[in-house]
């Protein structure tokens, strides 16, 4: 989406984003699946380092060779636009991430607690955001997704 210039964030990207590096997510899943304390439980797993959507997706924007930050619209306009795109994609039988639900996810004002996973499983994310973004960029380049 960033490569095509189609990445849009509602409300200047001020919302809270709760990323998790894949290795930390897998660690949490293995703990939940392998420990008795995880049996029958639901856990929230993320990196524990909340950032704004603008900060997170500016990395993707830069990786796509674009300057500045992703485009932004007021939430009501972003919802209307993505609803139209979503309906068009349904008619054309195209699957796309551009949906009103995405805009709502990108407009969250709060995060989530990982305290239950820490307490019961000993879950402790190890990868800081900056390191995870560097590793993600390197992986994308190595896999040919980025120039």
Say which CATH number the domain at 117 has.
3.90.25.10
Q: Is residue 56 part of a domain?
A: yes
Q: Is residue 51 part of a domain?
A: yes
Cβ neighbors of 11 (< 8 A, separation 6 or more) are 72, 74, 75, 107
Q: Is residue 78 part of a domain?
A: no
Angle 53-63/129-142 helices, nearest 10 degrees? Answer: 30
pTM across the whole model: 0.87
Q: What is the pLDDT of residues 29-59, one digit of tens each?
A: 999 999 999 999 999 999 999 999 999 999 9
Q: What is the pLDDT of residues 57-116, one digit of tens each?
A: 999 999 999 998 999 999 999 999 999 999 999 999 988 888 999 999 999 999 899 999
Q: How many domains does the chain have?
A: 1
Could you list the residue range(s) of the whole structural domain that residue 13 is in? 8-73+109-142
On average, the pLDDT of the chain sits at 94
Q: Is residue 132 part of a domain?
A: yes
**Other C-beta atoms lying within 10 Å of the C-beta of residue 15:** 21
Q: Can you tell me the distance from the alpha carbon of 14 to that of 17, in angstroms, rounded to the nearest whole number?
A: 9
């Amino acid at each position: 989406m960033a490569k095509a210039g189609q990445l849009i964030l509602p409300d200047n990207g001020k919302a809270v984003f709760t990323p998790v590096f894949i290795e930390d997510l897998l660690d949490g899943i293995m703990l939940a699946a392998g420990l008795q304390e995880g049996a029958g439980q639901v856990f929230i797993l993320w990196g524990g380092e909340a950032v704004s959507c603008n900060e997170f997706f500016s990395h993707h924007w830069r990786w796509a060779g674009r300057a500045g930050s992703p485009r932004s619209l007021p939430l009501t306009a972003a919802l209307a636009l993505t609803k139209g795109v979503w309906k068009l994609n349904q008619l054309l039988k195209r699957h796309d991430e551009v949906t009103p639900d995405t805009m709502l996810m990108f407009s969250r004002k709060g995060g989530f607690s990982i305290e239950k996973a820490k307490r019961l499983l000993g879950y402790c994310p190890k990868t800081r955001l900056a390191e995870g973004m560097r590793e993600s960029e390197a992986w994308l380049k190595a896999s040919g997704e980025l120039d």
